A and B are shown apart, each in its own frame.
Chain A
């Protein structure tokens, strides 16, 4: 069980209060929590439930339905490989395979050191620069298998590794 600090509980309640005037605020609350903490564990869902009166079962149902919400923490750097059609026909599968090979984790998983998560993304609408990869929002256009190692190293260097 993840322990949530008192400050954390306060923050989550604050997020719930932001949308007090909304008729159905659950999605907005969960989006904010996901952005703030990177994941939405059960303990957090309980606090949201107490604040909003929505049952934990319903909240859990919503959290597990949408791919943007996760129950597990994500890595510091989230490598999103677009696997939309335009990227796929230009070799995106090989690019994501290469990330998996170098980092030793499958798409959806996080490296043991907590640095990287590989995500297979649905079309991000950057088809003009396919295949596209995003890392924490920065877009890498026209990725190639050969460029993958360099990109990973760029982030390892930032971490002094």
Chain B
């Protein structure tokens, strides 16, 4: 494509084509399968192959198409199969279900009731995606295209809005583009929440012959996977966002830095770059405007700290991924010493929307200082696990109960951890707080990149704090001593407490150390390292005290502070537990419980290694943690 007219014509024909596919006016029915990492690991490719074979066997190639699309977001219910034009959604589909779907639905025109989603609260079967509670409160901006388009097909992307934002940007003056982003109120989705437009402005104001746009796809926050899903579901949108940023600041080169753990995302990104080059959307003199841009991919190599922007730049430069002191900020002196903006994947995915629909439309939802939507990776002890994109200002209660469907097995909600190892826990009293950047910070946590892990009564908060500290300790790059040594000492104290050897003095030391590490570390990794400790200490101090004073783990997680016991009156003496025990710690006793025929068993606490194997095998739930 050499000019805007050719692009417009192509977009038009692609849009007609995609619409015809989805509304069936092309005379075909479309079977859509999720091609995200979660569903792929649950055999969605085998399911696809089976559908293709059935279509071929019945010679229906002219009537039925089989397609791969990006992530539906509702990962705990995958793999998904969606049938158009009826828009029927089947979930938890297994290979052996394919034939039934084909015979009943594709051939027979009837819905396979048993594979429909069942709303847990009402028990109602739901056939359409938009009617499921999990999706009702969502609004797709950054996740645009996921679950609809084939992420490896540029024409489908163009039929679904791709490059219209770029086209509008290229018709504007670069400063107007920055003004538009400023007006939208877009803030960085990677954790910092810095206004993206201002970052761009700094880089635009820097004078240099060569500037760079870097996309931070080093999503390391454990529990967050929105960047992976966006890159897997619609890589075109992220590249488009990068190009708009490049045009605005005067950069002609862009680098994607993506985790090596995300092979599918990398392959789709690579494919998208190739197709865009072939289509003349990347390269020299794009659409005859004189704007040149090329995108490159760099892979991470498993270092969490590389998510920090200056560490990331060092990694691209082939060095150890250690952060640089700031200032100078990357917008002044970044990649290879040139002005560079580093934006996260989700941030860049919002940019085409802002340019396509307008800043006002983007800013129409959200709170006063946080506009638009945010993608959360909802996980942990919640019924509906998956990716959800919600308008800023949605409350935590809506997120956990309406969208997430509440806590499984009737357990009690204890806390929601947001912001990963840099964030904190929010408890029941924060449930009605609207979610936005500033509010979460005010409540003692942070948005971070959008990990949201729900914890219930079975999670020990000291153990959770220790888990994050182990993570940070492992990932601290070692450059500055407050982080290198401080995190190690904090981990030692937490280990002591969870093993039952802590003292009350330890709590004071934790707080003091935490503040030292926070105030003196070089980069955000160290500055936020103590957050999980500080917030659990603030909300769950009694749990720490129970570990220290009562030598008891209230959630019965810390192995030194709990034991497994057989409630002898419930034991029928089947002996399964004794067989399962790897330490020979379970033996028969002389006691026969009333109403039972065989002698009950007993666990020798001296021999028990607390693996929990006995509890898992006991069918009568006679084994309890104490």
B223 touches A24 (CB 8 A): no
The answer to whether B498 has its CB under 8 Å from any CB of chain A is no
Residue B147 interfacial (CB < 8 Å): no
Would you give the shortest CB distance from A23 to chain B, in whole angstroms? 7
Asked if A125 is at the interface of the complex by the 8 Å CB criterion, the answer is yes
Q: In the complex, what distance in Å separates the CA atom of A110 from the CA atom of B459?
A: 32
A85 at the interface (CB under 8 A from B): yes
Question: Does B135 have its Cβ within 8 Å of any Cβ on chain A?
Answer: no
Contact of B301 (CB < 8 Å), options: A25, A68, A121 = A68
Do the beta carbons of B37 and A127 come within 8 Å of each other? no
**A61 at the B interface (CB under 8 A):** yes
- Indicate whether A128 reaches chain B with its CB closer than 8 angstroms: yes
Q: Determine which of B41, B300, B420 lies in contact with A126 in the assembled complex, contact meaning CB atoms within 8 Å.
A: B41
Q: Does B369 contact A (CB under 8 A)?
A: no
CB-based nearest B residue for A25: B318
> Closest B-chain residue to A58, C-beta based?
B319
Instruction: Determine if B541 is an interface residue (Cβ-Cβ < 8 Å).
Output: no
Cβ–Cβ contact B261 & A121, under 8 A: yes
* A127 with B41, Cβ < 8 A, contacts A27-B318, A65-B303, A85-B223 known: no
The interface size bin for chain B is 35 or more
Query: Which bucket holds chain A's interface residue count?
Result: 35 or more
With A30-B301, A101-B582 known to touch, is A86 a contact of B380 (CB < 8 Å)? Answer: yes
The verdict on A39 contacting chain B, using a C-beta distance below 8 Å, is no
**Contact flags (1/0) for A125-161 with B, using CB distance below 8 Å?**
1111110100001111100011000000000000000
Q: Does B38 contact A (CB under 8 A)?
A: yes
Contact code string A104-129 (vs B, CB < 8 Å = 1, else 0): 00000000000000000111111111
Greatest chain B CB density within 10 A among A24, A26, A86, A97 is at: A86
Question: Once bound together, how far apart are the Cα atoms of A31 and B260, in whole Å?
Answer: 9
Q: Taking the complex as formed, is B78 at the interface, i.e. its CB lies under 8 A from any CB of chain A?
A: yes
Residues of A10-41 contacting chain B, CB below 8 A: 23-28, 30-31
Q: How far is the CA of A125 from the CA of B223 in the complex (A)?
A: 7
The answer to whether B222 and A141 have CB atoms under 8 Å apart is no
Q: Is B484 interfacial (CB 8 A cutoff)? A: no
Cα–Cα distance between A121 and B316 once the two chains are bound (Å): 22
Answer whether residue A55 sits at the interface, using C-beta atoms and an 8 A cutoff: no
Nearest A residue (CB) for B297: A28
A129 to B380 Cα, complex, angstroms: 10
Alpha-carbon distance between A97 and B609 when the two chains are bound, in angstroms: 12
Q: Which of B38, B76, B612, B616 has the most CB of A within 10 A?
A: B38
Per-residue contact bits, chain B 364-389, to A (CB 8 Å; 1 contact, 0 not): 00000000000001011100011000
A4 partner residues in chain B, CB cutoff 8 A: none
A5 at the interface (CB under 8 A from B): no
Interface residues in B20-41 (C-beta closer than 8 Å to A): 37-38, 40-41
Give chain A nearest CB distance to B322 CB in angstroms: 8
Known interface pairs A85-B379, A94-B611, A125-B261. Does A31 touch B616 (Cβ–Cβ under 8 Å)?
A: no
Given known contacts A25-B318, A89-B453, A130-B379, is B223 in contact with A123 (CB within 8 Å)?
yes
Q: Across the interface, which residues of A come within 8 angstroms of B304, CB to CB? A: 122
Q: What's the Cα separation between A83 and B220 when bound, in Å?
A: 12
Instruction: Give the shortest distance, in Å, between B388 (CB) and chain A (any CB).
Output: 12
Q: How far is the CB of A67 from chain B (nearest CB, A)?
A: 4
| Top 8 A-B residue pairs of the complex, sorted by shortest distance between their CB atoms | A128-B75, A139-B41, A125-B225, A26-B318, A84-B222, A66-B301, A123-B222, A86-B379
5 A–B contact pairs at CB < 8 A? A86-B223, A122-B261, A123-B221, A123-B223, A127-B225
Q: B-side interface residues toward A, CB under 8 Å?
A: 37-38, 40-42, 74-76, 78, 219-225, 228-229, 260-263, 298-304, 315-321, 336, 377, 379-381, 385-386, 417, 420, 451, 453, 455, 459, 464, 467-468, 471, 475, 477, 582, 611-613, 616
Could you list 11 further interchain pairs (A-B, Cβ under 8 angstroms) beyond the known A68-B301, A89-B464, A126-B75? A24-B317, A27-B318, A66-B303, A67-B302, A68-B300, A85-B379, A122-B261, A128-B75, A129-B42, A139-B40, A140-B41
